[in-house]
Amino acid sequence: MQMLGRKCRNFVALAIVMTMIVGCGESLIQQNDGPKAQVPINGNESEAIEADLPGEVFDFDYTLEGATDDLFIDGQAQPTEILPEFAFRGINVFFTGDDAPAIEYQVATSEDQWGTWTRFAPESSYAGMFGGIINLSQAGVAFRFRSTVVPEYVRFEFFEDPIEHGEHDHDHGDESLLFDDDDYMSLDDDDEELSERIGELSVQQDDADLSVRRQELITSCSKTKMAAYSGGRRLADITVIKMDHKNVGLNTASAYEKMRIAAARDGVRIQIVSGFRTMAEQTYFYNCYLSKRCNNGNLAARPGYSNHQNGLALDLNTRGAGVANWLNRNGARFGFKRTVPSELWHWEYRAGTTVSPQVCGGGGGGGGSTNQPPPPPPPPPRYDANLSVKFLGLTNFYPQGSSRHIGDALIGDRFKAEVLLTNRSSVRIGPVRMGYWFEHPFLKATNYRIDTDSPHHNRSSWRVNSANSEAKNPAKNNMGRTGLLEMHSFAPGESKRVVIDLIATEYSVGRADHPDIRVWVRHIANVYGEHTSFGGSPSTNKIGKVLRAHAQVDVLKADEWQFASKKNAGDLEGWRACHDGHHDRFLHNTNHGLMSMHVTGNNACAQSPAWTNIDASRFDQLVIGARSHDGKHTKAISWAPDSCAGVKRVSGADRYSSSAAVSRHLFPAGAQTAVLVLGTTHSADAIVAGPLAAQLGGPVLLTGNDTLPAAIATELRRLKPAKVVIVGGTSAISASVELAVRALGPKTERLAGQTRFTTAAVVAKSMGSPTREALIVSADSAHLVDAVLAASLAAGLKIPVLYVQGDTVAAETRSALTALNIQRTIIVGGPSSVSAAIASKLPSPRRLSGASRFATARAVADFAISRGVSDDHIYITRADNLIDAFSVTHTGNIIMLSNPAGLHPITQKFIEQRAGDRSQTLFKPVTLLGGVAALSKGVESSTCLAVEGVESFTVKFEARGDSKFQTLVIPMSDHPNWSGKVHSLRIYPLAGKRPAAGTSGWYDFQRVLFQSSRTRTTNSARQGFSNVTPVTLTP
């Protein structure tokens, strides 16, 4: 070994090496120099022999403490770069892990001329180990890799020439699996029709198939006599042949061949990973077990004591799709048993009989004697299946009453339903026929597709199934209200799904009990059926349960509300009371189907849902079914326009353009300093950068990892800063981005550490803390909302942000607390974010939190105001995507949260209260962060109402109060400002007055909808209003 740290640029701040630390800062790279590697042969390391390795080796061990701290930055995989000593055209790749990581790589053919990212496809795997070869058409000079899943160990061997398969498996033994698999039979993963045909072969066909496929299934019929051992004693030589390129005892091979064909019939591909072993091979594996430095440290018996040495044992590819489950269910049928509980892959042929017909003409034994009893009969088939259905692309935007846990759609919305059927049986089932039913006239199917997860059986690797083109199935664009789908047969473990395109066609509240889609299995040959309807039951049922499922949805309208569900007091169709203190009850009257409010003050009102969208040019009349018990009175309707002077919106085409737009908005004259952070969704560096930028007096700008976005480059040219401070290491923001910034003129400074804790501490120490306070937040990305709120508060208080996680204060955080002499800490977030154990270890902690993220934002805002932070500007950001908020944390202004479709009541109430405190003075503009896809026009309209304190436009009219319902038709078009789109509507049941003494104070609404007088048509699912009363607007 020699230290060659100068030869690598480690883009990931990896802390600990596998054997020794080399250069590149603190790298995880272990590099072998030259052609020697230690290969243990007999367990005595001092007697290890040397094997030639013509390549250059780099090792990465991610199991060591701290090794993965920066392998991912805010959920984004970060690249690691390697510079071998020579130009290379062949790369041998080996890695381990619980799951196969999706490793991608880039190759540079000249300095800074990189190819595209390419997904590495392992050629082989065994027991959590994966291997393969990359051959290049053009020599490379540098190499990068990244992984979407943290691996345990990664090894790259670089060669000057392309590698032939099987050429360099020197120190892996059977684990490397770098063999050419063109010579043996495999089931094409993409050939589902072949899979289903094999599945339908009868048992009588198996023996014929043996003779046809025998030469495809084996590698070589050349028989070899080899020394066998058992219990440490030498046995008679046994006959060994090659199968799957492995030595296998003849009798075991014959039984295995029958088992493999049966598995292929069920769509499962079994392979031998390790078979018969010589004494030298068993010695190698035993030494690996002792040293834990090869073969993944897997368990191995002492040489002479392994059943791999007498031909009985096989290690099989149990990590292959469906292999382990198939073997557990069927291995005993062919005489194979698992004998090592901790090794799923270790199977032994224990039937003892000579298998007939034998592979390669038989003779020679190998793999058991012939004087043992025959294997037991196979177990009876076990039948099980599961059916489910769910909607895709729906949101629960109406979380009230009986619709609280049901998805919602507006008329015209398009979404999907996914029907999932899984065969959990031990055998193939089918053919399968499935029934379906859509609740008309509310839902209509417009298309469908049938997929399978074969051969992976993981319910995620979907591809189109042959049933999708079955002639008996309905036309794709004409499923109708009900029908049947032929689903063909299912292999054990296989799932199929039907993805159905749907459109919401009619308003459903009060007309249907949450419209649904219903599915049921009608028939499985010889197993289940006939199940003719959703509510029925099958006459034959070996499954043991009824296979049926349903999913519900509510179809709503944006300009009509009938309040007719009569199910739950919360069924208000999105309407909510406004102006607290002027009413004491607001509910759905389930007896009569009404929206009812009990008024106690002079300003009670009900506000329309967040999804309100009224086309004023189409509908000029508002129809309200109303009653009261208080005699003649005045009602009022108020609304706000799409936009108003008190509310601004800042947005861009993407996160970088939005960041630049915020900078232009806040620094129109430029800035001497700017702060640059990685623009990923969960950027930890962006949080600590906010208070830093506040201290420096410049904007926070977002950038990519490897490239400076054009929008940010343009903004830097406009700002003309003298210096740009980069927060985060080169694994977050690469050196190439820093060079691009310098090319624009400003100097650069980088504040970074190996972890997010270290970076936060570095920034905190550079800032200082005049008040000896610090903000404390969780480093867990699940609590990003708390971190964003804390960053803005910290900027307003001019104090730093530090990270904690779990129940221990990180050493870097402790160091910063001590160095800054912090006397008081402010925690943002509840105990699930920053635990009580952490809080107890902090100096004089104070916690700011609430029952929800919206309540926490209110708590932080109230605290900020109490500490003198300015409230003359409020930013509103989307609660579930805070990327746009990163660019405003440095302002120190209050940040409040909103749902994308509608302004949250906690946020609206806070804004209304602050507006009320200002008397005649409006806020400086409240700013919405993001376009209408992030925060809808409904949010903007509701914010206008809240900011200005009173509604922009109002109409008033007289109504009776004789306890009888009247249908009031209000001519909205008589108001000069009834135009465009209206997204927020308020009804004042008793405009500007309190209920008269001695009256009930109850005001009921039977319906609220819009219609057109010009076409004499209503926008309603119901016709024939009674007791219609046209009204005249009053001043």
* Residue-by-residue DSSP string for 236-248: EEEEEEEETTEEE
pLDDT level of residue 103 (50, 70, 90 thresholds): confident
Does 782 lie in the same domain as 739? no
Does 696 lie in the same domain as 579? no
Query: Counting Cβ atoms within 10 Å, is residue 83 exposed (0-12), middle (13-18) or buried (19+)?
Result: middle
Average per-residue pLDDT for the chain? 79
pLDDT level of residue 196 (50, 70, 90 thresholds): very low
How far apart are the C-alpha atoms of 456 and 493, rounded to whole Å? 9
The 3-state DSSP class for residue 802 equals strand
Give residue 180's identity as a one-letter amino acid code: D
Does 220 lie in the same domain as 289? yes
CATH code of the domain containing 696:
3.40.50
Q: Where are the beta strands (DSSP E) in 679-823?
A: 700-703, 723-727, 747-751, 773-778, 801-804
CA proximity to 421, closest of 527, 362, 496, 332: 496
Domain that holds residue 725: 671-752
How far apart are the C-alpha atoms of 516 and 406, rounded to whole Å? 10
In a domain? residue 840: yes
Distances (CA, A) of 757 to 482, 685, 807, 814, 885: 58, 10, 14, 10, 21
> Each residue of 153-192: pLDDT tens digit?
677 778 788 875 433 332 223 322 222 222 222 223 333 3
Residues 107-127 as b/e (b if ≥16 CB within 10 A, e otherwise) read bbeeeeebeeeeebebbbbbb
pLDDT level of residue 678 (50, 70, 90 thresholds): very high
Give me the pLDDT at residue 877, please.
Answer: 94
In a domain? residue 40: yes
Does 25 lie in the same domain as 100? yes
How far apart are the C-alpha atoms of 556 and 241, rounded to whole Å? 70
How many residues make up the chain in this entry? 1035
> Each residue of 528-579: pLDDT tens digit?
989 999 998 999 999 999 999 999 999 999 999 999 999 999 999 999 998 8
Q: How many alpha carbons fall within 13 Å on the CB side of residue 498?
A: 31
Percent of the chain with pLDDT over 90: 41
Tell me the β-bridge partners of 410: 556
Q: Which of 782-796, 877-891, 1007-1021 has the lowest mean pLDDT?
A: 1007-1021
In a domain? residue 878: no
Q: Mean pLDDT across the stretch 435-442?
A: 96
DSSP state of 1034: B
> Each residue of 530-539: pLDDT tens digit?
999 999 899 9
Does 989 lie in the same domain as 1006? yes
| CB proximity list for 355: less than 8 A, separation 6 or greater | 251, 254, 255, 258, 335
- End position of a domain, from candidates 556, 574, 590: 556
Q: Which of 509-513, 967-971, 985-989, 1017-1021 has the lowest mean pLDDT?
A: 1017-1021
Does 231 lie in the same domain as 155? no
Tell me the β-bridge partners of 605: 578
How far apart are the C-alpha atoms of 296 and 685, rounded to whole Å? 36
Q: Mean pLDDT across the stretch 863-888?
A: 88
DSSP β-ladder status, 747-751 and 723-727:
parallel
Does 339 lie in the same domain as 252? yes
Residues 956-982 as b/e (b if ≥16 CB within 10 A, e otherwise) read bbebbbeeebbbbbbbbbebeebeebb
φ and ψ at 985, to 5 degrees? -130, 140
Domain count of the chain?
6
**Does residue 601 contact residue 953 with C-beta atoms inside 8 Å?**
no
How far apart are the C-alpha atoms of 180 and 186, rounded to whole Å? 13
Give me the pLDDT at residue 24, please.
Answer: 31
- End position of a domain, from candidates 508, 525, 556: 556
Q: Mean pLDDT across the stretch 243-259?
A: 87
Q: Which of 23-32, 533-542, 595-604, 978-987 has the lowest mean pLDDT?
A: 23-32
Does 761 lie in the same domain as 745? no
Please give the structure tokens belonging to residue 850: 């609430």
CA proximity to 1008, closest of 688, 609, 665, 728: 609
Of residues 958 and 15, more confidently modeled: 958
| CB proximity list for 695: less than 8 A, separation 6 or greater | 767, 798
CATH code of the domain containing 356:
3.30.1380.10
Residue 714, pLDDT above cutoff 70: yes
**Does residue 417 contact residue 390 with C-beta atoms inside 8 Å?**
yes
In angstroms, how far is the first alpha carbon of the chain from the final one? 92
In a domain? residue 652: no
How far apart are the C-alpha atoms of 267 and 197, rounded to whole Å? 10
Does 95 lie in the same domain as 76? yes
Q: How many alpha carbons fall within 13 Å on the CB side of residue 812?
A: 20
- End position of a domain, from candidates 294, 326, 361: 361
The 3-state DSSP class for residue 308 equals helix
Does 741 lie in the same domain as 817? no
Q: Mean pLDDT across the stretch 457-476?
A: 92
In a domain? residue 576: yes
CA proximity to 961, closest of 636, 596, 630: 630
CATH code of the domain containing 1002:
2.60.120.430
In a domain? residue 370: no
Q: Which of 301-305, 436-440, 686-690, 877-881 has the lowest mean pLDDT?
A: 301-305
**Residue 85 CB neighbours (<10 A):** 12
Give me the pLDDT at residue 68, please.
Answer: 52
Q: Mean pLDDT across the stretch 913-936?
A: 69
Give me the pLDDT at residue 318, please.
Answer: 81
Does 438 lie in the same domain as 302? no
Does 206 lie in the same domain as 173? no
The 3-state DSSP class for residue 480 equals coil
**Does residue 906 contact residue 855 with C-beta atoms inside 8 Å?**
yes
**Does residue 433 contact residue 538 with C-beta atoms inside 8 Å?**
no
How far apart are the C-alpha atoms of 411 and 505, rounded to whole Å? 5
> Each residue of 320-361: pLDDT tens digit?
778 888 998 899 999 999 887 667 788 999 876 666 666 676
Q: Mean pLDDT across the stretch 234-238?
A: 86
Of residues 1024 and 447, more confidently modeled: 447
In a domain? residue 112: yes
Residue 747, pLDDT above cutoff 90: yes
Residue 923, pLDDT above cutoff 70: no
> Dihedral of CA 935/936/941/945: which sign?
negative
DSSP β-ladder status, 153-159 and 113-114:
unpaired
DSSP for 97-125 reads -SS---EEEEEEEETTEE---EE---SEE
Three state DSSP letters for 176-227: CCCCCHHHCCCCCCCCHHHHHHHHCCCCCHHHHHHHHHHHHHEEEEEEEEEE
**Residue 898 CB neighbours (<10 A):** 30
Give me the pLDDT at residue 367, please.
Answer: 53
In a domain? residue 905: no
Give me the pLDDT at residue 472, please.
Answer: 95
| CB proximity list for 185: less than 8 A, separation 6 or greater | 213, 216, 217, 264
The 3-state DSSP class for residue 1030 equals strand
